[in-house]
C-alpha cells in the first residue's frame, strides 16, 4: 500500500497492484430465489441471517422494521414459516431493532438502537434480559459518542458469535477526531456468562489519523468478518486496499493485501470537516471508489470482498458494485463487477452451500418478493 500525502491533510491511498493482478476465477449467477412477502414487508430488509435449526432445516430470516418482527422462511423450499413480533413498549418492548443474532429460536439477541443495548429474547416475543453496550456510562456524560461506537447494523456488519462472546462492530459516525484515534475502540465483546462488555480494535492511524477528512458515514464504516480459526477478526475499511487482521484479545493489526485490480487510488476530502458541505460529501462518495464488506465462504474456503466503483457525480445511479475473490490465504483469484448499486444490495450478502447470495433489487420495483441471486465460482 502506497500513501501519497502531497497536502499534509489529504491522504491519497494508491493501489500498488492495480492493473497487474492475474485472474483465474470469476463469479457466475446460477440461481434466482424469490421469497414471497406479505403486505407488511418490502425488499431491502435491514438485516438477514441464515439459521440452521436442530432438525437440519435451513431458514432465511430477515428483520422487518415496519412491524418490529423477524420473519423466517425455509431457505430451500422458499416457503414462509413464521414471524416473531416484538412489542415496542412495556416489559417486552424493543423500541427500534436494527439487527439480531439467532443462537437458537429461544435465544435471540436483538440490537435496540435507542437504548444501545443487546436484548435477549425468545421466539414467543418475550424479553429475557437487557444488556447495555454503553457500559459504566455516566448518564451526565454528553461526550459518550467520543468514547463508544454507534452501530448501524446490516447483514454486511453482523453480530457474530464465538464460544464465549457475542461480537458487534460499530463505528464513529462523523469525521474521526485525530485526538481520539489512539484510544477509540469500535468492536464490543459481550461475555455470554458474565454479561460484561469490553471493547477492542480501533481505526488505523495511517488511514484515519493526521487530520485526514473522511467526514464520516460510509467512510468510517467498519466491515468485520470472523476469521475461520475463530480467534481473530478481519476488518475491511472502505478507504484501504489492505485487510486488517487482529487477535480477539490484542490491539495489534497485521495487514494483508486485499485490493481490486481496477481500483487505482482512494483520496480523502480536500477540505476541513467543518467546511465540507453535504453536497461536497455526497459528490466525493459517488466519485471515489470504496471497499465494502467481506465474507468468508467456509464451503469453498475463499473470501469475497465487495467494492463500489466511482462514477460521475451527475450519474448517481451508475455507480457499480463488484466483488474480489481470494483464497483462504488471501491470494487474489479474480473479481466480478455485478452492475448498478441500485440493483445489487451490497449490504445484504451471505454464504450458503449453494454459493454467494446477494439481494437483487429489480428496476420494476417488485415489492412482492425478496429476490436473491446465487453465484458460483467458475474458472476463466
Q: For residues 160 and 172, give the distance between their C-alpha atoms in angstroms, rounded to a whole number.
A: 19
Q: For residues 108 and 59, give the distance between their C-alpha atoms in angstroms, rounded to a whole number.
A: 14
Three-state secondary structure string covering 104-141: ECCEEEEEECCCCEEEEECCCCCEEEEEECCCCCCCCC
Query: 137 versus 299: which is more confidently predicted?
Result: 299
Q: Can you tell me the mean pLDDT for 204-218?
A: 88
Q: What is the pLDDT of the chain when averaged over all its residues?
A: 92
Encode pLDDT of 256-295 as tens digits: 999 999 999 999 999 888 898 989 998 899 999 999 999 9
Structural domains present in the chain = 2-379 (2.120.10.30)
In Å, how far are 57, 74, 155, 185, 366 from 160, measured between CA atoms? Answer: 21, 22, 11, 17, 31
Q: For residues 355 and 375, give the distance between their C-alpha atoms in angstroms, rounded to a whole number.
A: 5
Encode pLDDT of 95-111 as tens digits: 999 999 999 999 999 99
Q: Is 265 helix (H, G, I), strand (E, B) or coil?
A: strand
Q: For residues 309 and 289, give the distance between their C-alpha atoms in angstroms, rounded to a whole number.
A: 5
Q: For position 259, what pLDDT does the model report?
A: 98
Give me the residue label for grid cell 406479505.
38
Q: Residue 85: which of 49, 40, 44 has the closest Cα?
A: 40
Q: For position 264, what pLDDT does the model report?
A: 92
Phi-psi region of 257 (alpha: psi -120 to 50; beta: other; left: phi over 0): beta
Encode pLDDT of 323-356 as tens digits: 999 999 999 999 999 999 999 999 999 999 999 9
- Whole-model pTM: value is 0.94
pLDDT at 313 over 80: no
pLDDT at 374 over 70: yes
Percent of the chain surpassing pLDDT 90: 78
pLDDT at 5 over 60: no
Please name the residues in contact with 181: beta carbons below 8 A apart, sequence gap of 6 or more.
Answer: 202, 203, 205, 208, 209
Q: Can you tell me the mean pLDDT for 54-73?
A: 93
Encode pLDDT of 132-171 as tens digits: 998 766 656 667 788 889 998 899 999 999 999 999 999 9
Q: Is 23 helix (H, G, I), strand (E, B) or coil?
A: coil
- For the chain, the first-to-last Cα distance in angstroms comes to 27
Amino acid at each position: 500500500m502506497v500513501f501519497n500525502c502531497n497536502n499534509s491533510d489529504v491522504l491519497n491511498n494508491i493501489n500498488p497492484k492495480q492493473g497487474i493482478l492475474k485472474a483465474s476465477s470469476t463469479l457466475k449467477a446460477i440461481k434466482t430465489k424469490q421469497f414471497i412477502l406479505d403486505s407488511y414487508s418490502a425488499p431491502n430488509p435491514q438485516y438477514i441471517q441464515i439459521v440452521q435449526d436442530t432438525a437440519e432445516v435451513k431458514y432465511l430470516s430477515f428483520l422487518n422494521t415496519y412491524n418490529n418482527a423477524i420473519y423466517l422462511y425455509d431457505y430451500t423450499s422458499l416457503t414462509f414459516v413464521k414471524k416473531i413480533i416484538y412489542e415496542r413498549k412495556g416489559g417486552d418492548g424493543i423500541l427500534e431493532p436494527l439487527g439480531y443474532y439467532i443462537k437458537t429460536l429461544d435465544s435471540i439477541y436483538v440490537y435496540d438502537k435507542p437504548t444501545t443495548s443487546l436484548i435477549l429474547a425468545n421466539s414467543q416475543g418475550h424479553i429475557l434480559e437487557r444488556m447495555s453496550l454503553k457500559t459504566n456510562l455516566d448518564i451526565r456524560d454528553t461526550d459518550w459518542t467520543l468514547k463508544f461506537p454507534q452501530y448501524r447494523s446490516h447483514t454486511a456488519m453482523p453480530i457474530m458469535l464465538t464460544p464465549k462472546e457475542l461480537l458487534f462492530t460499530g463505528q464513529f459516525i462523523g469525521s474521526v477526531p485525530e485526538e481520539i484515534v489512539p484510544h477509540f475502540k469500535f468492536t464490543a465483546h459481550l461475555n455470554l456468562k458474565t454479561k460484561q462488555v469490553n471493547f477492542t480494535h480501533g481505526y488505523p492511524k495511517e488511514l484515519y489519523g493526521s487530520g485526514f477528512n473522511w467526514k464520516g458515514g460510509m467512510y468510517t464504516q467498519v466491515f468485520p468478518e470472523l476469521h475461520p480459526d475463530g480467534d481473530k477478526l478481519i476488518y475491511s475499511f472502505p478507504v484501504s486496499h489492505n485487510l486488517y487482521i487482529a487477535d480477539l484479545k490484542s490491539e495489534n493489526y497485521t495487514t494483508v493485501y486485499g485490493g481490486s485490480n481496477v481500483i487505482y487510488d482512494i483520496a480523502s476530502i480536500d477540505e476541513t470537516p467543518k467546511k465540507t458541505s453535504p453536497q461536497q460529501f455526497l459528490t466525493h462518495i459517488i466519485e471515489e471508489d470504496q471497499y465494502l464488506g467481506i465474507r468468508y465462504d467456509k464451503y469453498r474456503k475463499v473470501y469475497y470482498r465487495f467494492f463500489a466503483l466511482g462514477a460521475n457525480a451527475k450519474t448517481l445511479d451508475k455507480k457499480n458494485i463488484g466483488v474480489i475473490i481470494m483464497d483462504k490465504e488471501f491470494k487474489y483469484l479474480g473479481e466480478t463487477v455485478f452492475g448498478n448499486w441500485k440493483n445489487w444490495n451490497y449490504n445484504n450478502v451471505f454464504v450458503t452451500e449453494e454459493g454467494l447470495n446477494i439481494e437483487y433489487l429489480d428496476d420494476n420495483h417488485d415489492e412482492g418478493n425478496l429476490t436473491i441471486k446465487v453465484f458460483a465460482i467458475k474458472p476463466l
